[in-house]
Chains A and B, each alone.
Chain A
Amino acid sequence: MGGAELGQIFVNALLLSGILALVALGFSLVWGIMNIVNLAHGAFIVLGAYITFFLHELLGIDPFLSIPVAMLALFTLGWGIQRGLINQVIRAPLLATFLLTFGLELLIVNLINFFFKADLRSVTTAYSGTGFTLGTVRIPYIRLGALAVSLVLVAGLAWYLKATRTGRAIRATGMDLDAARLTGVKVATIYAATFAIGAGMAGAAGSLLSMMVPFDPTLGGGYTQRAFAICVLGGLGNVANVVIGAAIFAFVDVFVGARLPSLSRAVTFAILVLLLILRPQGVAGKRV
């Protein structure tokens, strides 16, 4: 592996970390606050991708401009799903919510499949496939833009959770449900908001992914798994952990992919399992 190749791999991993952080952000928030592993997260990502695709295809809206639309749509859907379904079983054993979100994933993905067919689609704009070269390293505009959008959203959520009243209520509810309720927090509303924000973030990630990779209704499953892995790697608890987890995952993925393409999934998962055994609280997480 020469210096130039190493540089390209490094930059690729860096660009990948941004979007992966965004993919995992909403997933981590829902898991950390509500103790729900949301297997429908990938389905939300797919919905975001389709919203961007159709806004671009039918109305000619620039994919980057459709991100707020996707976020708002998924935010609303997430709110409804949480109030209508998830909230009904949130205190049932862990597997109940796990299976409920699995059922939702099945439902959403196959409805998309039914209405829009399994065709492979992609959002192609005038600037797709273009980029600039820095030394020997090639940087595509879309990936750079995706990194920028991801960073803004990640930082925005971190600020929101830290500085606003609702954000603090969300964190308080995650720490201690009963104590939060005693201080006057409306827990059901906060849960709905948390889930809706998580879905909205997934929508944004889907919008960005629709420009970066060709997609079909099954795009999401792989990203749910990645989000899970990133949360485990980084540990739950705050936004910074997600970023660290995403960076580690991206670097392992890109480097292993460059050296052992046929075994990349096995190696990535082997590292994950090993890490789980050695540091169950995550690389950056604290032992509780």
Chain B
Amino acid sequence: MKKAAAIAGFLALLALLVALPRLVSSYKLLTYTRFLVLALMAQGWNFIGGYTGYAAFGNVAYFGIGAYTTGLLMIGKWHVPFFPALAAGALLSALVAILLGLPILRLKGHYFAIATLGVAEALSQVADTWDSVTEGSTGIDLPLKTEGEFFYYTALALVTCGLALTWAFSRSKLGNGCVAIREDQDAARMLGINTTLFKVIAYALSAVFAALAGGLTAYQNIHVTPGDFFRIDYTLQMIIATIIGGAGTVLGPVLGAAVYQLLSTYVWSKFLELHPTVLGLIIVLFIVFLPRGLMTVLGSKRQRGERPFRASDLLANVRAHRVT
């Protein structure tokens, strides 16, 4: 009964999202598209950072690879249509993630984080200096496409597929294996899980999502430069969105992306000059009071039939994680 209500609610929400371009201005639609693209990136990061527990701090590298591959295939001598070009970018990103993942996924904790950060930095500089292909810091220009609805619906379709994929992943042997790796890698290995393979697959999945987001953003922005598409902000946004929503949950990244985009847009309009300050404050408050994300408020407790979330639980959260 409860499940049916949840499914009905979900379908109603989806119908609302499909009808949205008829209901809001094209400027507002841009904000919603940005939310969906962020959700897509967060969904990808959730595989490696949420389920597998590897703090990947360089996923913007795959965002950039996706953007450049899509862009370069669409212009020049190939003139590939958008969707094949987008797929090619995703494929190339997956390939790079597999090749890079094999060595760097051996690292743990902060060391893995800095290695991925280093890879993103290095790729950014390669895009900046490899003039003959990427046109250096001037960047490349894609064919013009102005229909905002196209980008919105593409992003919506991708996020919906992402939800389905994450749901299937969380119930599969692969997903459970990744969670086992997150909880205790040595124990997982002893249970017969091929930890290297599982980690590489999770990492490649996260790269595919980032590349799709990158390709879509490239087409929407028309102009692709290393400075715009290898910005560490993208990595941070996808991580913040995932954490706010709840890492390692199916709905968390999408919920987190919605909250982040909502707050960010609201803060932009109210405190233009203090925008990053307020954003910083929001992150701090979220981490202190809900270090495991919003899904802890909505999800697990209710499923187990316990009492619903109360405001006092915020303080209980704090008490659970501090040292005296």
In Å, the complex CA distance between A191 and B110 comes to: 20
Tell me, rounded to whole Å, the shortest Cβ–Cβ distance linking A281 to chain B: 9
Contact pick for B129, options A106, A188, A263, CB 8 Å = A263
Residues of chain B contacted by A277 (CB below 8 angstroms): 103-104, 106-107, 115
In Å, the complex CA distance between A31 and B111 comes to: 12
Tell me, rounded to whole Å, the shortest Cβ–Cβ distance linking B230 to chain A: 12
Residues of chain A contacted by B49 (CB below 8 angstroms): 95
Q: Across the interface, do B113 and A273 meet the contact criterion of CB distance under 8 Å?
A: no
Among B57-116, those with CB < 8 Å from A are: 103-104, 106-111, 113-115
Residues of chain A contacted by B280 (CB below 8 angstroms): 103-108, 110
Given contacts A89-B291, A90-B323, A277-B107, contact A100 B277 (CB under 8 A): no
In Å, the complex CA distance between A269 and B53 comes to: 24
Residues of chain A contacted by B288 (CB below 8 angstroms): 85, 88-89, 100
Q: Across the interface, do B291 and A276 meet the contact criterion of CB distance under 8 Å?
A: no
In Å, the complex CA distance between A276 and B115 comes to: 7
Tell me, rounded to whole Å, the shortest Cβ–Cβ distance linking A39 to chain B: 10
Residues of chain A contacted by B231 (CB below 8 angstroms): none
In Å, the complex CA distance between A103 and B247 comes to: 18
Q: Across the interface, do A91 and B321 meet the contact criterion of CB distance under 8 Å?
A: yes
The residue in chain A whose Cβ has the minimal distance to the Cβ of B108 is: A280
In Å, the complex CA distance between A85 and B236 comes to: 20
Residues of chain A contacted by B276 (CB below 8 angstroms): 106, 109-110
| Residue in A31, A89, A263 whose Cβ sees the most chain B Cβ within 10 Å | A89
Contact pick for B318, options A37, A88, A110, A188, CB 8 Å = A88
Contact pick for B118, options A37, A91, A188, A272, CB 8 Å = A272
Contact pick for B109, options A87, A94, A96, A228, CB 8 Å = A94
Residues of chain A contacted by B53 (CB below 8 angstroms): 93
The residue in chain B whose Cβ has the minimal distance to the Cβ of A272 is: B118
In Å, the complex CA distance between A286 and B202 comes to: 30
Contact pick for B287, options A100, A187, A270, CB 8 Å = A100
Given contacts A90-B323, A91-B322, A95-B239, contact A104 B284 (CB under 8 A): yes
B243 interface contact, C-beta 8 A: yes
Q: Across the interface, do A87 and B322 meet the contact criterion of CB distance under 8 Å?
A: yes
Tell me, rounded to whole Å, the shortest Cβ–Cβ distance linking A189 to chain B: 10
Interface 9-residue window, one of B120-128, B187-195, B299-307: B120-128
Contact pick for A107, options B108, B240, B284, CB 8 Å = B284
B132 interface contact, C-beta 8 A: no
Q: Across the interface, do B119 and A107 meet the contact criterion of CB distance under 8 Å?
A: no
The residue in chain B whose Cβ has the minimal distance to the Cβ of A265 is: B125
Contact pick for B322, options A37, A90, A273, CB 8 Å = A90
Given contacts A89-B322, A262-B129, contact A106 B114 (CB under 8 A): no
Tell me, rounded to whole Å, the shortest Cβ–Cβ distance linking A284 to chain B: 15
In Å, the complex CA distance between A106 and B247 comes to: 22
In Å, the complex CA distance between A108 and B276 comes to: 10
B142 interface contact, C-beta 8 A: no
Tell me, rounded to whole Å, the shortest Cβ–Cβ distance linking B228 to chain A: 18
Residues of chain A contacted by B320 (CB below 8 angstroms): 91
Contact pick for A90, options B118, B239, B275, B321, CB 8 Å = B321
In Å, the complex CA distance between A90 and B292 comes to: 13
B184 interface contact, C-beta 8 A: no
B29 interface contact, C-beta 8 A: no
Residues of chain A contacted by B287 (CB below 8 angstroms): 89, 92, 96-97, 99-100, 103
Q: Across the interface, do A107 and B277 meet the contact criterion of CB distance under 8 Å?
A: yes
Residues of chain A contacted by B269 (CB below 8 angstroms): none
Residues of chain A contacted by B274 (CB below 8 angstroms): 110, 114
Among A218-241, those with CB < 8 Å from B are: 225, 228-229, 232
The residue in chain B whose Cβ has the minimal distance to the Cβ of A37 is: B110
Q: Across the interface, do B113 and A270 meet the contact criterion of CB distance under 8 Å?
A: no
A58 interface contact, C-beta 8 A: no
Tell me, rounded to whole Å, the shortest Cβ–Cβ distance linking A282 to chain B: 9
In Å, the complex CA distance between A107 and B279 comes to: 8
In Å, the complex CA distance between A187 and B288 comes to: 19
Tell me, rounded to whole Å, the shortest Cβ–Cβ distance linking A110 to chain B: 4
A10 interface contact, C-beta 8 A: no
Tell me, rounded to whole Å, the shortest Cβ–Cβ distance linking A23 to chain B: 16
The residue in chain A whose Cβ has the minimal distance to the Cβ of B276 is: A110
Given contacts A87-B323, A100-B283, A191-B323, contact A266 B122 (CB under 8 A): yes
Residues of chain A contacted by B291 (CB below 8 angstroms): 89, 92-93, 96
| Residue in A90, A105, A106, A191 whose Cβ sees the most chain B Cβ within 10 Å | A106
**Beyond the given A110-B276, A110-B280, A273-B115, could you list 6 further A-B residue pairs with CB under 8 A, ordered by the A residue number?**
A88-B321, A96-B321, A103-B283, A191-B323, A269-B118, A273-B104
User: Residues of B at under 8 Å CB distance from A?
Assistant: 49, 53, 55, 103-104, 106-111, 113-115, 117-119, 121-122, 125-126, 129, 236, 239-240, 243, 247, 273-277, 279-284, 287-288, 291-292, 318, 320-324
A-B contact pairs, 27 of them (CB 8 A): A89-B288, A90-B323, A91-B320, A91-B323, A92-B287, A92-B321, A93-B291, A94-B109, A97-B287, A99-B283, A104-B284, A106-B276, A106-B279, A110-B274, A110-B280, A187-B324, A188-B324, A228-B117, A229-B114, A263-B125, A273-B119, A276-B115, A277-B103, A277-B104, A277-B107, A277-B115, A280-B111
